[in-house]
Structure formats: structure tokens, C-alpha cells
Amino acid sequence: MNTMKKLSDKQMAMLLAILVAIMPFSMDAYLPSLPHIARDLHSDIHYIERSLSSFILGMAVGQLLGGSLSDIKGRKNIALTGLAVYIIASFALIWVQTGEQLLALRLVQAVGCGMAGVTVGAIIRDNYEGKQAAQMFALIGVIMMAAPLLAPMVGSVLQTVGGWRAVFVFLCAYAVLVLVLLHRFLPKHKTAEPIRRDVLRVIFGRYKHILSTKPALGFLFFQAASFSSMLTFLTESSFVYMDLYGLNHHQYAWAFACNIVTMAIFNRITAWHLKRDSNSQDILLWGIAIQFVANFALLCSVWASDLPPFAWLMVLLMLSVGTQGLVAANTQALFMQHFKAEGGSANAILSAAQSLIGATVGFLVTYLHNGSVKVMGSVMVACTVCGAILLWYFSRQAWQKSR
């Protein structure tokens, strides 16, 4: 029996937002500490930067596991299991002594994060459709914008007060709080089913069906490409801002926060237009256009000058990263509308594809790194162009029918 109506839309959005916020806290809170982690673990900073891609890779594994299992065992059960894995790994991260340990434990931490976080999209798909689903995704986005906005600032303060290990103490404590709140307030959507012998055949059958639904794939690929563009910035941001432009970790946190403010503004624009009967395709089209212009201008700037003016660079990055507020909710809603019975599996494929493609791009950026901003600018615009081409190729007919 569906018990979701016991909570209002805003209450449910708040509950799901604090769960989703674990991911941006996990990704962004330790960014100001990367140079300190590299020094303390006697490792090259570009090797330590790979811990971000390691985390994204683990997210993909967790999302694939959690998505299908949540269709069988229930969303709440899988969310709580994922949080338990995350808490154990976060506690272990407090005591790491080598870069290899950091990468391995970040991978395990991310598996738990992915298992828990992937249930959110499925919960929304279970209870909302079409524009209402996009509004719910946008509402969660508005609430959780505080996480990536605050994460680098919190990380910077923790770095000053207790060093980089304090960041993982914070992540562990936050996850414990989320686990308690979900156990207490998240309703069960379904009774857990027993694991059957043919569970793998069922899971892979669902994934095969989703991946063979061509009209949905364009939205999947553009969301992954847009996320990869942002992840390229995240991977290089501490090096570019702190090493090349000389910002300290407090200044870096404030500069990073400007990107999140822009994202929040674009997210509010999305929510406002959806309430005024605009469709998701039109909003997504604007997001694609703005992201391409910002990334192309960034590419031209970094190739025209080794270090373009910081203010100009920062504005372009704010616009590029900020377009996540125009893209994410709409690509997710447009993709998920193709699947009803396989909501958990579909959301797992969407999230895992985003994570796998993003992790691949992140690793590529660290290998291509040449000590300049050129790699970041080139990869970001390449992500947007490839995503737009794949969106047109796979989903143009579905786009036209929905308009």
C-alpha cells in the first residue's frame, strides 16, 4: 500500500534532499583539503585528485546495485543498507595513511552513497509523473542547493580547526543523522520480496529493456555529458584556483560557492517556468545553449591566454556549472517518463551512466593534466558538444512528440 501521502510534498522533498545531499557533501567538502591530503600522505596532488573519480566510479556501482534491489527489497531498506556501508567506510577514512587507502575507501564509501541516493529518483517516480515529477525534482534541488554551497566552506573550516581528517569525521556523523531520520520518517512504499534464484536474470532483463529504449537514451547521455563537464571543473578547481591563481582554501571555498549560487538561481528559474506551464524540453534547450556558450568562451579564453583574468574565468565557470539547474531536473524527468514498472532500475541506469561517464572523463582529465587551464576548458566544451549530438541522435523524435 502506498503510504507516501502521509507526508506533504515539501516534507518529502526535505527528507529526500538531506539524503541526496550526502553526495555533494562527500564530493565537495574535502576539495579545499586536497593539497593538504597530498602533503600528509606523501602523494602527488594529481593522484589524490583521482579520489574524486574513484568516488564517482563507486557511486555507479552502488547505483546499479541499489536501483534494482530497491525494486525487490523496497526503497527504504536499500537506502538504510547503503547508509550503513557509507558510515563504516567514512569512519575508516579518518585513519588512512596512504593515497592507495584513500582511493580504495572512497570507492567503498561511494558504493554505499550510490545505493542510498539512487532510491530518491525511484521514490519520486513511484508517486509523481511528467511535469509534477520535474517539479518535485526541482523542489528537491532548491532545498539541497545548500549542500554544495556549504560543503567547501564547511570543509575549509574543518581543515582550519581539525585538519583534513575532520572532514571525514563530519561526513560520518552526518550520515548517522540521515540514517536515523530515514529510519524514523521515510514510509515504506512496498513490502520486501524474497530474493529469487533468477534475480540476476530479472535485473539484467530490466537493464536490457531500459538500454534498448532509444528515445530515452538521448536524455541519459546529455545528463551524463553535462555532469562530466561539471566534474571536469571539480577535478581541476583546487589546482586552478589555488595553485595557478593563488587563492587560499577560504577564498577557494567562497569562489566555489559562487557556482552553486548560480546553479540555485537557474534551478529556481526551472521551478518557476514549470509552474507557469512551460515544458521541460524548452527549459533544457536553454540550458544546453547557455552551457555551450559558456564553455566555448572558456575554451577561447584559455587558449588565447595562459591565465585569463580571474574574474572573467570565474563568471564563465559560474554560468557553465550553474546550468545544472536548468538541465538535471528536466533530463531526469524526460528520461524517467519512459519507465513506470522499472522505476528503480531506470533511475539506477541514469545515475550509473552519469557516474561512469563522469568518472571516465575525470580520470582522463588527470592524465591529460599539463599544468595549465587548457585541459579543463577543452574537455568541458567537448562534453557539451558530444552530449548535444547524442541527445539529437537518440531522442529527437521523442522530443518532437512531447512538444
CA atoms within 13 A of residue 363's CA, in its CB half-sphere: 11
Q: Helices 374-402 and 214-238 sit at what angle, rounded to 10 degrees? A: 160
Question: What was the pLDDT predicted at 393?
Answer: 93
Given a contact cutoff of 8 angstroms between Cβ atoms, the answer to whether 276 and 369 are in contact is no
> In the predicted model, what is the mean pLDDT of the chain?
85
Query: Which of the pair, 292 or 398, is modelled with greater confidence?
Result: 292
pLDDT beyond 50 at 3: no
Ordered DSSP codes for 228-294? HHHHHHHHHHHIIIIIIS---HHHHHHHHHHHHHHHHHHHHHHHHHHHTT--HHHHHHHHHHHHHHH
* Mean pLDDT lowest among 40-49, 106-115, 129-138, 284-293: 129-138
pLDDT beyond 60 at 326: yes
Question: What was the pLDDT predicted at 401?
Answer: 62
Q: Convert the pLDDT of each residue in 72-101 to its tens digit.
A: 778 888 999 999 999 999 999 999 999 999
63-67, 139-143, 145-149, 217-221: range with highest mean pLDDT? 217-221
What average pLDDT does range 248-258 have in this prediction?
Answer: 85
Give 267's pLDDT tier (boundaries 50, 70, 90): confident
Residue that has been written with the C-alpha cell 521541460 in this structure? 280
What average pLDDT does range 348-374 have in this prediction?
Answer: 85
Cα 195–201–207 angle (5° rounding)?
105
Model pTM? Answer: 0.72
Question: What was the pLDDT predicted at 197?
Answer: 65
Q: Convert the pLDDT of each residue in 184-193 to its tens digit.
A: 888 776 665 6
Given a contact cutoff of 8 angstroms between Cβ atoms, the answer to whether 401 and 218 are in contact is no
pLDDT beyond 70 at 49: yes
Return phi, psi of residue 41, to 5°: -95, 5
Do you know the residue count of the chain? 403
Which DSSP helix (H) or strand (E) runs through 198? Answer: none
Question: What was the pLDDT predicted at 1?
Answer: 39
CA dihedral 329, 291, 396, 280 (to 10 degrees): 30
| Residues 187, 185: Cα–Cα separation, whole Å | 6
| Residues 27, 34: Cα–Cα separation, whole Å | 11
Task: Please report which residue ranges of 128-248 form alpha helices under DSSP H.
Answer: 130-144, 146-162, 165-185, 199-211, 214-238
What average pLDDT does range 283-289 have in this prediction?
Answer: 92
Return phi, psi of residue 239, to 5°: -65, -50
Question: What was the pLDDT predicted at 2?
Answer: 46
Question: What was the pLDDT predicted at 4?
Answer: 46
Question: What was the pLDDT predicted at 386?
Answer: 96
Which DSSP helix (H) or strand (E) runs through 113? Answer: helix 99-127
| Segment 209-215 long-range contacts (CB within 8 Å, at least 24 positions apart) | 209/342, 210/339, 210/342, 210/345, 210/346, 210/349, 211/349, 213/338, 213/339, 214/394, 214/395, 215/338, 215/394, 215/395, 215/397, 215/398
127-136, 156-165, 323-332: range with highest mean pLDDT? 156-165
Q: In whole angstroms, how far apart are CA 204 and each of 190, 207, 211, 215, 342?
A: 22, 5, 10, 20, 12
Give 143's pLDDT tier (boundaries 50, 70, 90): low
Residue that has been written with the C-alpha cell 530474493 in this structure? 195
What average pLDDT does range 262-277 have in this prediction?
Answer: 80
What average pLDDT does range 288-295 have in this prediction?
Answer: 96
Return phi, psi of residue 402, to 5°: -85, -15
| Residues 159, 149: Cα–Cα separation, whole Å | 17
Given a contact cutoff of 8 angstroms between Cβ atoms, the answer to whether 219 and 334 are in contact is yes
pLDDT beyond 90 at 118: no
Annotation: CATH topology of 4-402: Growth Hormone; Chain: A; (1.20.1250)
Give 397's pLDDT tier (boundaries 50, 70, 90): confident
- AA identity, residue 360: T
pLDDT beyond 90 at 312: yes
Task: Please report which residue ranges of 305-342 form alpha helices under DSSP H.
Answer: 310-322, 324-336
116-130, 272-286, 350-364: range with highest mean pLDDT? 350-364
Residue that has been written with the C-alpha cell 515544458 in this structure? 279
Q: Convert the pLDDT of each residue in 7-44 to its tens digit.
A: 677 778 788 888 988 988 998 898 888 889 999 999 98
Q: Where are the domains of the chain?
A: 4-402
